[in-house]
Amino acid sequence: MDKIDTQSLMLQMRALTAEAQNKPLAVTATEQTGQSSAQGFADLLKQSVEGVNNQQHKAREMRESFERGDEGADLTEVMLQAQKASLSFQAMTQVRNKLVEAYKDVMNMPI
């Protein structure tokens, strides 16, 4: 059985943490209009949701493979993928909560 490389695990955890944080994106000259900025945000949000979905599917497939007893299924890899999927889902939930909060703030602004 392979040993877990703790250094690699820490690097992956740091990468996921950086991915989960909201980092401001640089605004290009073409994105300075409202339409292209909204389009870019919509695409970014769609890609993020698809990424979370892919993580969830991969975790489910690995779990099912382990439950079937496939030789290539390693418990540590299954657990790591499940944690990655959980972390990405939690991050997406927090982003959704912030978006809802921002929407409510905008809707409550006096005109």
Q: Report whether 86 contacts 56 (CB < 8 A).
A: no
Predicted pLDDT at 41: 74
According to DSSP, residue 22 is labeled -
Residues 6+ apart with CB under 8 A from 19: 88, 91
Q: Which residue has the higher pLDDT, 4 or 24?
A: 4
Q: Would you state the structure tokens that stand for residue 99, as one six-digit string?
A: 């978006």
Q: Would you state the structure tokens that stand for residue 74, as one six-digit string?
A: 């390693």
Whole-model pTM? 0.59
Average pLDDT of the segment spanning 89-103 = 88
Average pLDDT of the segment spanning 19-30 = 51
Q: Which residue has the higher pLDDT, 41 or 98?
A: 98
Predicted pLDDT at 31: 44
Report yes or no on 26 lying in a domain.
no
Report yes or no on 103 lying in a domain.
yes
- Residue whose pair of structure tokens reads 């909201």 in the numeric block: 22
Report yes or no on 105 lying in a domain.
yes
Average pLDDT of the segment spanning 84-110 = 89
**Number of separate domains in the chain:** 1
Report yes or no on 9 lying in a domain.
no
Average pLDDT of the segment spanning 75-102 = 90
- Domain holding 102, by residue range, is 43-111
Report yes or no on 51 lying in a domain.
yes
